[in-house]
Amino acid sequence: MFNGAILIGASERQGGEPFFAINPATGARSDVAFSSATPAEVEEAAGLADAAFESFSTLSPDARAAFLETVADNIVAIGDLLIDTAMAETGLPRARLEGERGRTVGQLRLFASYVRLGDWLDATIDVALPDRQPLPRADLRRVNQSVGPVAVFGASNFPLAFSVAGGDTASAFAAGSPVVVKGHSAHPGTGELVARAIQAAVKSRGLHEGVFSYLPGNGNALGAALVAEPRIKAVGFTGSRGGGTALMKIAAGRAEPIPVYAEMSSINPVVLLPGALAHRAEAMGAAFVGSLTMGSGQFCTNPGLVIALDGPDLDRFVAAAAEALSGAQPQVMLTPGIHAAYERGVAALVGAQGVATVARGTEAEGGNRGQAAFFATDAATFRSNPVLAEEVFGSSSVLIRCSSIEEMVATVAGLEGQLTATLQIGAGDEADAATLLPTLSRKVGRILTNGWPTGVEVTHAMVHGGPFPSTSDGRSTSVGTLAMMRFLRPVCYQDVPDALLPPPLQAANPWGLTRRVEGRLEVAA
Ligand code: NAP
């Protein structure tokens, strides 16, 4: 009866409770019956990951990088089958998925090049001072090492770039962590194709089979069992606030609590300053709607809140945005559940006291399509009703009309943590921008000026994180090479003989690393 597989190390199984993919564009159920992993398979995968830890976490940078590159090559080699499968399971268009595949293999290759640099090991040496008075100092050498096996939850809204071989998996592998993936139940066929590509890379690179396992399934029990499994040492997650906080509670309640790096909910405020409004209100209105409706608004960086000084220039922005939005075509949403949650969120805003509907997108024909929505209110109403600050995942945004810059600052100060904040500035806005920036920087992980928050570059400097509830740990990022740091911890070796030290700390520096010696960087030749 089953066609979909569970991958445990080098083996594959079928069984458990069958589940099916739904084509969100048509509502049709897949012919394939997917297998669900059982608690026994969670244990088995975690046991193998634990057994793989020592050999995988101590691989040379070159060997680890070559593995990441092989995963990337194998994903490319799947070809159109991957794109066609993802289109049928997510309703996302071909061009978007081809771009996302490029981003997925690009980030695997970026991590490979960064792993080769070796500076993430942060090899640091304070040599012994035997003659120091009144007491001698020991030889102290510190290096980063993997925290252990990592559980990764694939995200619904990035079936490639934030799913089975997405940013969490790539950064965990880069850090030397074996990975057990809980596949998202909305795109199981896509997930399995990518999982097989990773499994093949593990084999062809001669690595321990436990470096990777793939556990598909739907229902909360599987994910809960994975986070509770004692051999799992950290968790990467992208999804809902409810899901993320549930996993944080499970992780904190374990006999050995572990960190959960959950990226959850964010409404990404866009602040329009008076000079920007005076000079380009209409252009900003149209560009805002472009960002709001991209991908049916199903981005964690979607601009769900606009904060601006009330007046005729803001009216011009609103008129331009309303015109652009009323022509916005409804787009297929990722799952019936996500569409239903969007409809509930919009209905709550339509019915909220003191909130006006500025514009709606074209009415949706056919099921599971999101009809865009833009609302407006004043700062006092916004402050008094917490529902207005909740994420509505999809193309929905609320404008706050403020009476002064001070009220704009107070509105920002009252917000929860966010992934991004955007400042639209023009001539004469410098002083207001300088007033707002310190408050904004306390709230977010990334501040943009004169851009739009959707579209996240995968680079070394990127921060895709922020204070709770945008993430569970505002000290981290889930995009960019810094994401590796979530899965590393420092270990200090004191007076350990050279031959017993890990290679990054040995006197001969066999990996040719740049190291910090007595506080000064010694750059590799
Ligand atoms: P989700 O419901 O949080 O699910 C994400 C993953 O976590 C799934 O694999 C799910 O497993 C698992 N999970 C959820 N709750 C759990 C629990 N209590 N215990 C154990 N495992 C749990 O997110 P989603 O399915 O992607 O979308 C639902 C909503 O999430 C959206 O409407 C949106 O509000 C939000 N979302 C936000 C972002 C963002 O970037 N901010 C991205 C995507 C989604 P099962 O599905 O198998 O139960």
H/E element holding 290? helix 274-293
Confidence of residue 525 (pLDDT cuts 50, 70, 90): confident
3-state secondary structure of 4: coil
H/E element holding 439? helix 430-443
Give the Cα separation of 228 and 46 in Å (integer).
11
Over residues 361-374, the mean pLDDT reads 91
Q: Give, using CA atoms, the residue closest to atom 8 of ligand 1.
A: 184
The domain at 6-264+475-486 falls in which architecture?
A: 3-Layer(aba) Sandwich (3.40)
* Bridge pairing between strands 11-13 and 6-8: antiparallel
Confidence of residue 124 (pLDDT cuts 50, 70, 90): very high
Q: For this structure, is 402 an active site residue?
A: no
Give the Cα separation of 376 and 357 in Å (integer).
6
Confidence of residue 329 (pLDDT cuts 50, 70, 90): very high
Ligand 1 midpoint to CA 244 (Å): 7
H/E element holding 375? strand 373-378
The set of residues, in sequence order, having a beta carbon less than 8 Å from that of 123 and lying 6+ positions away, is 141, 142, 143, 504, 505, 513, 515, 516
Q: Give, using CA atoms, the residue closest to atom 4 of ligand 1.
A: 239
User: Within 10 Å of residue 405's Cβ, how many Cβ atoms?
Assistant: 16
Per the rule left: phi > 0, alpha: psi between -120 and 50, beta: everything else, 236 is: beta
**Of 300, 390, 402, 407, which residue is the catalytic one?**
300
Q: Give, using CA atoms, the residue closest to atom 48 of ligand 1.
A: 219
For residues 370 and 339, the answer to whether their CB atoms sit within 8 Å is yes
Give the Cα separation of 412 and 406 in Å (integer).
10
What percentage of the chain has pLDDT greater than the value 90? 97
Ligand 1 midpoint to CA 240 (Å): 5
Q: List the domain boundaries for the chain.
A: 6-264+475-486, 269-449
Q: Please check the confidence at residue 468 and state whether its pLDDT lies above 70.
A: yes
| Cβ of residue 212 lying under 6 Å from some atom of ligand 1 | no
What distances in angstroms separate CA 67 from CA 56, 61, 114, 174, 392, one per listed residue? 11, 10, 13, 9, 39
Give the Cα separation of 503 and 123 in Å (integer).
10
Over residues 296-319, the mean pLDDT reads 97
Mutate to test the pocket of ligand 1, among 38, 158, 214, 240 (most ligand atoms within 8 A of CB): 240
| Cβ of residue 184 lying under 6 Å from some atom of ligand 1 | yes
Ligand 1 midpoint to CA 387 (Å): 20
Mutate to test the pocket of ligand 1, among 17, 35, 156, 190 (most ligand atoms within 8 A of CB): 156
| Cβ of residue 45 lying under 6 Å from some atom of ligand 1 | no
For residues 431 and 405, the answer to whether their CB atoms sit within 8 Å is no
| Cβ of residue 300 lying under 6 Å from some atom of ligand 1 | yes
pLDDT tens, residue by residue, 63-108:
999 999 999 999 999 999 999 999 999 999 999 999 999 999 999 9
Position 448 scores a pLDDT of 98
Confidence of residue 364 (pLDDT cuts 50, 70, 90): confident
Ligand 1 midpoint to CA 409 (Å): 32
For residues 246 and 220, the answer to whether their CB atoms sit within 8 Å is yes
Closest to 130 (Cα-Cα) out of 139, 120, 141: 139
What percentage of the chain has pLDDT greater than the value 70? 100
Q: Which DSSP letter does residue 218 get?
A: -
| Minimum-distance ligand 1 atom for the alpha carbon of 241 | 3
Q: Give, using CA atoms, the residue closest to atom 25 of ligand 1.
A: 156
Ligand 1 midpoint to CA 320 (Å): 34
**Of 263, 391, 407, 416, which residue is the catalytic one?**
263
Q: Give, using CA atoms, the residue closest to atom 42 of ligand 1.
A: 239
| Cβ of residue 294 lying under 6 Å from some atom of ligand 1 | no
Q: Give, using CA atoms, the residue closest to atom 38 of ligand 1.
A: 239
CA atoms within 13 A on the CB side of 487: 30
Sheet holding 140-146, edge to edge: 488-494, 140-146, 124-126, 515-517, 520-522
Residues linked to residue 126 through DSSP beta bridges, in sequence order = 140
3-state secondary structure of 105: helix
Token pair for residue 250?
A: 């499970």
| Cβ of residue 219 lying under 6 Å from some atom of ligand 1 | yes
Give the Cα separation of 164 and 75 in Å (integer).
11
Ligand 1 midpoint to CA 321 (Å): 31
| Cβ of residue 156 lying under 6 Å from some atom of ligand 1 | yes
Strands (E), 379-485: 396-402, 418-424, 444-449
For residues 107 and 41, the answer to whether their CB atoms sit within 8 Å is no
Over residues 364-381, the mean pLDDT reads 94
Give the Cα separation of 413 and 1 in Å (integer).
56
Give the Cα separation of 250 and 237 in Å (integer).
13
Q: For this structure, is 457 an active site residue?
A: no
For residues 316 and 353, the answer to whether their CB atoms sit within 8 Å is no
CB environment 36-69: b (16+ within 10 A), e (fewer): bbbeebbebbbbbbbbbbeebbebebeebbbbbb
What are the helix (H) ranges across 58-121?
61-78, 80-90, 94-117
For residues 300 and 157, the answer to whether their CB atoms sit within 8 Å is yes
| Cβ of residue 317 lying under 6 Å from some atom of ligand 1 | no
Q: Domain 269-449 is classified in which CATH homologous superfamily?
A: Aldehyde Dehydrogenase; Chain A, domain 2 (3.40.309.10)
Closest to 170 (Cα-Cα) out of 488, 479, 477, 489: 479
Query: Is the whole model's pTM more than 0.85, yes or no?
Result: yes
pLDDT tens, residue by residue, 169-193:
999 999 999 999 999 999 999 999 9
User: Within 10 Å of residue 131's Cβ, how many Cβ atoms?
Assistant: 7
| Cβ of residue 120 lying under 6 Å from some atom of ligand 1 | no
Position 387 scores a pLDDT of 97
What are the helix (H) ranges across 296-416?
312-326, 336-350, 379-384, 405-413
Give the Cα separation of 214 and 184 in Å (integer).
11
| Cβ of residue 155 lying under 6 Å from some atom of ligand 1 | yes
Position 2 scores a pLDDT of 61
| Cβ of residue 341 lying under 6 Å from some atom of ligand 1 | yes
| Cβ of residue 319 lying under 6 Å from some atom of ligand 1 | no
Q: Please check the confidence at residue 1 and state whether its pLDDT lies above 60.
A: no
